[in-house]
Homo-oligomer: A and B are copies of this chain.
């Protein structure tokens, strides 16, 4: 029984009869191959990666498990279509908060066609990519049973400026139960989600060490997906927070050079998350409630795109 994923925050969606990914009950995620070469390039990456002996075992946990490809009835009813079969990284979570962070101040790859380069460069300059070295490209926050999920529109999320991204990184680990996403972040879950020996920061640092050394792939336009079970956080202090790399349609060969573009952006994200851990109260104490409209921004409605 294939169905439309509930917790997809970025990328093409299968809702409204469009072509998009599907999931099943056994924890698998079926991503339709895009008709241009992106689909086949992503399959090529997963195939290469899953058999590459130079990838250390401890790094594989940062990638969705790859189960091959499969012909499936497409979600848009257009008939049989090849799908990449992957691990559904949120399958065991009931109330996940999810952030899709596209890493790199440059999202284009050097060999790309000129018009593609210009389109990407324009977007990198308009979003926080150029200034921060990354941009948030999808977001879902779980509030409470009453407020449910808050998933701001795609354009709103992508066009957050540097200061707004900073606030979102705080909101991501804050308690909030009202239906108003324009709340002042309290960073109540910062230490249990971002911190600790198995938290997000530790995972990002492990990934960073690999990126300082690996000269196999350049992860152009890839995202770091940050996921945790917000529902359980409200009851017990174990977040099960995980980092996964996703979206490999533009991965290129490294030719013996590290992926300095990804590494730089990753270090910038690491620095911002570190700052939240060292001063979790900054947003509350510095800005206060009185000017929360300015500093603790409202970034869309809960109806999705």
Interface residues of A (CB under 8 A from B): 105-106, 110, 121, 125, 130-133, 162, 166, 212-213, 215, 255-258, 260-261, 263-265, 267-268, 270-272
A258-B267, A260-B264, A268-B257 known; A110-B125 Cβ under 8 A:
yes
A220 CB to closest chain B CB (Å) equals 12
Docked complex Cα distance between A51 and B110 (Å): 40
A85 CB to closest chain B CB (Å) equals 33
Q: Indicate if the CB atoms of B257 and A263 lie closer than 8 Å.
A: no
Contacts of A215 in B (CB 8 A): 271
Q: Indicate if the CB atoms of A162 and B257 lie closer than 8 Å.
A: yes
The prevalent SS among residues of A at the interface is helix
A160 CB to closest chain B CB (Å) equals 14
Q: Indicate if the CB atoms of A260 and B267 lie closer than 8 Å.
A: yes
Q: Indicate if the CB atoms of A212 and B271 lie closer than 8 Å.
A: yes
21 residue pairs A–B, Cβ–Cβ below 8 Å: A105-B106, A105-B260, A105-B261, A110-B125, A110-B130, A121-B121, A131-B257, A132-B260, A133-B257, A133-B258, A133-B261, A162-B255, A166-B256, A212-B267, A212-B271, A257-B272, A260-B268, A261-B264, A263-B267, A264-B264, A264-B265
Docked complex Cα distance between A260 and B262 (Å): 9
Q: Indicate if the CB atoms of B106 and A255 lie closer than 8 Å.
A: no
Q: Indicate if the CB atoms of B106 and A260 lie closer than 8 Å.
A: no
Docked complex Cα distance between A268 and B261 (Å): 10
